[in-house]
Amino acid sequence: MQSISNEKSDLEDNISHAKGLEAVTVDNRESPGTVPVAGDAVFGVNADGPNYLNVGWIRAAVFLMKAQIGLGVLGIPQVMSTVGLFPGLFLIIILGVMAAWSAYVVGVFKQRHPECHSIADAGFVLGGRVGQEALGIMCSLFMLCVCASGLLSISIAFNALSSHGACTVGFVVVGGVIVYILASIRTIDKLSFLSWVGLASVLSALFTLAVAVGVEDRPAAAPPTGPWSKNQRFFGNPSFADASSSIGTLVFAFSGTPAYFTVFSEMREPKDFPKTIALCQSVVTTVFILLGVIIWFFCGQYVASPALGSAGAMMKKVCYGLALPSLIVGSTHWITWLLLVLGCVTFAFFVAEAIPVFGGLIGLIGALLGSLMNMHVMGAMWFYDNFGRQREDKSWRFRALMAWNVYLIAAGTFIMISGTYASIKSIVNDYAGKTLTVFSCADNSQ
């Protein structure tokens, strides 16, 4: 009990520090005309600059909901069709719990180490300069690849809306220009209105999709005439590669954890982070389950990826029209954290054109980078702060937490290896089968 009380006291002290009530100046020297900064040298309130401490816990939750209910959710119905209803539900729930725990670890780690504003900063705490550079590079690559998948989704939406009215490469370029313009917004406070728009956009598209597949005679991918079977499976029989790729897709869907550092840094009340996590993860997991079950029930084996193409030609246009703001915001909010916006968009453009298939791209990102960002790093942060307690804390609760974080790291390692292999195999097969080519003008919304 004494150790728990001491830990609580330390956290309260760090919360006060994180709120930033002191003035900070460069090299601890004040010069004439210097405007005091509330907070710290990175996230604070400066009369000559933006206010970085102006995000309430509800707006923070909305921002993080949009970070997850965006691109990844569009691949979940395909996962349910591949692995079956019950395995799909189990995977969504267990990965949702893991994502919520990882987010909580970020919040606690941020309060104990207020100087951490990103995963790269956490890498410095964990492994010095080498850790900082390694995690900084991996996190930047992850965000760029997420942006690339966003550009690919935007091109699919434009193709669907225009009935392939122009070259797909041109649509990717248009998406890149839009993202570049919006990515100039500097703070989450200013960016949060886009999160509201994006969240409303994707939820309305998903609701419309759910209604459309329920009232239509048959899914868009089903035979247009004659008898047909949904072939709904409670337990699927996927190959190892297909199952691993599906898990990678779900990891991608829950891969909003890297954004938590920055969001927590800009909250007015850092102590409210548990409420932000609870609201965000409960809504996200519920949406994933409902969408997956509804599309699985009405479409069965004839589900499209992205899922918005499952409801027929006309409703596909409606769904993509509703979702387009969300797809744009989904690319914007990730790349906003990077300074070289033009270079980032250019890099993302080439990634989107090199792997122009939605399922393969998000599966690869989720397995290779999402597992590292959402499992390995969070498990390592927990052990960094708590490993020394094992000698004095012999409680079952502490031992259970140790076992859980070991599992988190082990599961992340398995997903990284197996999911990366499966996704690369799928992409190679697509190229070998001539179903996709680099810089193709072909319609990718079919």
- Tokens 């337990």, residue located: 235
Taking the C-alpha atoms of residue 68 and residue 256, their distance in angstroms, rounded to an integer, is 5
Taking the C-alpha atoms of residue 182 and residue 177, their distance in angstroms, rounded to an integer, is 9
| pLDDT, averaged in runs of 10, over the chain (446 residues) | 46 45 36 44 51 72 80 84 94 94 93 89 93 90 82 82 81 81 61 71 86 81 79 89 91 84 83 91 93 89 81 80 76 50 70 74 88 92 91 88 95 94 86 68 69
Strands 44-45 and 38-39: antiparallel
Sequence-ordered list of residues with C-beta below 8 angstroms from that of 201, at least 6 positions apart, any chain: 322, 323, 324, 325, 326, 329
H or E element in which residue 39 lies: strand 38-39
Structural domains of the chain in order of their starting residue, each with its CATH number: 1-53 (no CATH), 56-432 (1.20.1740.10)
Phi, psi of 393 (to 5 degrees): -105, 105
Rounded to 5°, angle at Cα 423 from 418 and 426: 125
Taking the C-alpha atoms of residue 286 and residue 294, their distance in angstroms, rounded to an integer, is 12
pTM for this model (two decimals)? 0.79
pLDDT at 83: 93
Cβ atoms of 426 and 245 within 8 Å: the answer is: yes
Look at residues 256, 304, 227, 225 and name the one whose alpha carbon lies nearest to residue 72.
256
Taking the C-alpha atoms of residue 306 and residue 310, their distance in angstroms, rounded to an integer, is 8
